[in-house]
Structure 1
Amino acid sequence: MKIMKQVLKEGKIVLKIETLDDLWHLYNTVSTNDIVISKTSRRVRIGDENSRKQESTRKTMVLKLKVEDVSFHNFSNRVRIKGVILEGPDDLVNIGSYHTINIETGDTLTIIKEHWPKFVLDRLKEATKSQIRPICLIVTIEDGTAELFLAADSGIQETVRIRMSISRKRGDQKSYDATMRDFFADTLLALQSQLEQYEFGLIVIAGPGFVKDHFKEFLIGAKIKDLPPVVVESTNSIGVPGAKEILYRGVISRAVTELKVETETRLVETLIEHISKDNGLGAYGNDEVFNAVQYGAVEELLITDKRLREGEENERRWMDSLIRNTEKTRGSFHIVSTEHPAGDQLQRLGGIGAILRFKIIQ
């Protein structure tokens, strides 16, 4: 992400979206009642209103919207911003009508807020530090089945699934070896397709048996140019459960720069462990967390992206104050994505929690 212009006195920031993770950061930046200005396209009717020969055509234009809804479409890699048109070409749009702007990588937009919370500014600053944040490709594999996943700031996303019938005729090792080579070749093609689309910091090959080790040998033997580091890990299963197991065990963070989703998972698990033990080092809900912040006891403050995004303006200001006071007492703040299981767990606890450095005695 690149900040092209920033005029906080006017509440204005101009952003250029450069990577897949930038879309996730944008989704958590734009809120209801914000003003967004961007180039977009809109279907309009050309010709005399009373004529039967009116034609419908799509025109490119710059529109200014008052935001009513923001959605993140991770499978189509775009953020959709819906709102009421405030400004646009008079001959092409009706002021006050609705429009949805689709933001994709490479797009530039202007965001105007009445108040820019510190945690939002910090998020944008962090996003600009690593314009190409490494993402990991997880390949879960066993005989005849392979599934490829992207692991990034926004969680895990399945991209490709490969299935093939493997010859298991007793005593016919040649047939088995031949079908496994075909299976590995198909999986390699799918993997190469992902390498062409994304810049990976790591490839993790995982599964319960020895197929993962054999596939690594096959992959290395293919001598792909600029192949990222490849590690092999044992898991109890393949598919989504196997990919989640990789995240929970911290495999990625030991091999490449720690991904945010792993950090969030570990923090939420630590919070829940403290709560279950009732040792006074875990707080959740508005009252408990606010009280802990007042005592300067918070070491890690956790708030879900959903809680931050969907709160009313006065609630967002309250949370912003909470974050600032936490950081004043050397505590850390984390936005936890609800796109992975740990984020869902925190959301069920009210969307806010804290790991404390000491027990509060009242």
Structure 2
Amino acid sequence: MKLLRQQIEKDQSGFVRVVPEEPEDMWHVYNLIQKGDQLQASTVRGVKSESNTGSVTTDRVRLKLTISIEDVFFDVQAGALRINGRNIAENKHVGIGQYHTLDLEMNQPFTLSKREWDLISLQRIKDACDITKQADVAAVTMQEGLAVVCLLTQYMTVVRQRIEVAIPRKRRGSTANYEKGLQRFYEQVYRAIKQHVDFSVVKVVILGSPGFVRDQFFDYMMSQAVKTEDKTIIENKPKFLLVHTSSGHKGALEEVMRDPQIKSRLADTKATQEVKAMDDFYQMLNSNPDRAFYGFEDVRKAADNSAIGTLMVTDELFRAADIQTRRKYINLIEDSKASNANVLIFSSLHVSGEQLQQLAGVAAILNFPLIIDSDSEYSSSDESSKKEPENVDFDF
């Protein structure tokens, strides 16, 4: 995303004018926009006009509108963002108070105004406009007849294509139909990788499966690349990383990203910092639970005691329409930073963010143990008394 202009006043009111350049930029905009904000953008609207003879015609006119935002719809797969609200600026084609829906498009500038730009929103603008933050990891999880092609960024895990092919069972004395079905399946996965993976950006392509499906597909892909002289696949062969997964579904990515071999290979990518933090949290919860807190109330008490080493919060909490809810999490982050805590904002569209959602969206690794008793008082201690959360599996 390109920042064209930014003007923030001392009272934190102001505006930014930006141009979204990538599909992921729409995700950032979705997280920035709140009900009551003002959005100015170019749009097309049907305008009726009546001639001297009384005939009525409708023309499509491009105009600039400023609306007060009431509703936001974001289609993750299409990267489409639609914002509905009332017009608040004079316009000869649209009256004050009339409703209009603005469709934000890539490479089209818009201006977003807020009564208050908090630190979370300002940091998101800064991150979104950093050209180094791009999708640098691709992953394909597969099992016979099923494959899911994903792109992983620091903020999102987006399914680009789901492939399902019926593969006949092997028959005694004949495997011809089975082999043909498997070839059709491999061919579709191969095409999907070529279509969705930009090897000029992607540093690692993870191929994961149970059994030997990934190895058999990799052999097929490389033989096809040599046969068709596909230089893109041949030259990027070292980027493919074959790993074991329990299934071919998207959920298998969680176990993949926690594998030490994977974390080592992805050390210089943007997708690993949050995954490592969650892994460290689970390990701490198992070994020293008085240094692993989750849920707002407990984490808030840890912050009050300047005990937080790493704070993890999902961005879902900052899309709350309730200003007070949003403010309490911003205060938690500000207080944690004041005591030199490392603060990580997780994307709810990333596998690690989905995991954090199971812990009410907020968790912390403490610098030293705290015990919270039944009267909600806390004290420093080396003893462990914190219970594990229900319905969450912390086994490795």
Per-residue deviation, residues 236-283 of structure 1 (Å, max 9, x unmatched): 1112333443244476543334444x5445544654665677832233
Aligned residues: 359
1:189-200 pair list within 5 angstroms: 189-195=191-197, 199-200=201-202
1:1-362 pair list within 5 angstroms: 1-9=1-9, 11-47=14-50, 51=54, 53-87=55-89, 89-90=91-92, 92-131=93-132, 133-152=134-153, 153-166=155-168, 168-172=170-174, 177=179, 179-195=181-197, 199-221=201-223, 222=225, 224-227=230-233, 228=236, 229-249=239-259, 253-256=263-266, 257-260=268-271, 263-268=273-278, 270-271=280-281, 279-339=289-349, 343-344=353-354, 346-347=356-357, 349-360=359-370, 361=379
User: Which TM-score applies when normalising by structure 1?
Assistant: 0.85
Cα 1:245/1:318, change in 2 over 3 Å: closer
Aligned-partner SS, 1:125: helix
Aligned-partner SS, 1:245: helix
Structure 1 unaligned residues grouped into runs of 5+: none
- Give the % identical residues: 24
Asked if 2 retains the 8 angstrom alpha-carbon contact of 1:269 and 1:342, the reply is: no
Cα 1:88/1:50, change in 2 over 3 Å: farther
One-letter identity of the residue aligned with 1:21: E
Cα 1:286/1:208, change in 2 over 3 Å: closer
For 2:259 and 2:85, locate their aligned partners in 1 and report how far apart those are by CA, in whole Å. Answer: 42
Cα deviation, residue 359, structure 1: 2.0
Give me the CA root mean square deviation: 3.2
Aligned-partner SS, 2:203: strand
The more displaced of 209-218 and 182-191 is 182-191
Asked if 2 retains the 8 angstrom alpha-carbon contact of 1:77 and 1:104, the reply is: no
For 2:348 and 2:85, locate their aligned partners in 1 and report how far apart those are by CA, in whole Å. Answer: 24
One-letter identity of the residue aligned with 1:160: R
Cα deviation, residue 232, structure 1: 0.9
Structure 1 equivalent of residue 384 of structure 2: none
One-letter identity of the residue aligned with 1:313: I
For 1:35 and 1:60, locate their aligned partners in 2 and report how far apart those are by CA, in whole Å. Answer: 19
For 1:109 and 1:250, locate their aligned partners in 2 and report how far apart those are by CA, in whole Å. Answer: 43
For 1:232 and 1:181, locate their aligned partners in 2 and report how far apart those are by CA, in whole Å. Answer: 19
For 1:124 and 1:118, locate their aligned partners in 2 and report how far apart those are by CA, in whole Å. Answer: 10
Asked if 2 retains the 8 angstrom alpha-carbon contact of 1:139 and 1:147, the reply is: yes
Aligned-partner SS, 1:116: coil
Asked if 1 retains the 8 angstrom alpha-carbon contact of 2:43 and 2:103, the reply is: yes
Asked if 1 retains the 8 angstrom alpha-carbon contact of 2:141 and 2:149, the reply is: yes
The more displaced of 230-239 and 249-258 is 249-258
Asked if 2 retains the 8 angstrom alpha-carbon contact of 1:40 and 1:60, the reply is: yes
One-letter identity of the residue aligned with 1:204: I
Structure 1 equivalent of residue 388 of structure 2: none
User: Which TM-score applies when normalising by structure 2?
Assistant: 0.78
Cα 1:11/1:325, change in 2 over 3 Å: same
Cα 1:62/1:186, change in 2 over 3 Å: same
For 1:54 and 1:278, locate their aligned partners in 2 and report how far apart those are by CA, in whole Å. Answer: 75
Cα deviation, residue 351, structure 1: 3.4
For 2:57 and 2:181, locate their aligned partners in 1 and report how far apart those are by CA, in whole Å. Answer: 56
Structure 2 unaligned residues grouped into runs of 5+: 371-378, 381-396
Aligned-partner SS, 1:239: coil
For 2:217 and 2:179, locate their aligned partners in 1 and report how far apart those are by CA, in whole Å. Answer: 12
Cα 1:175/1:296, change in 2 over 3 Å: same
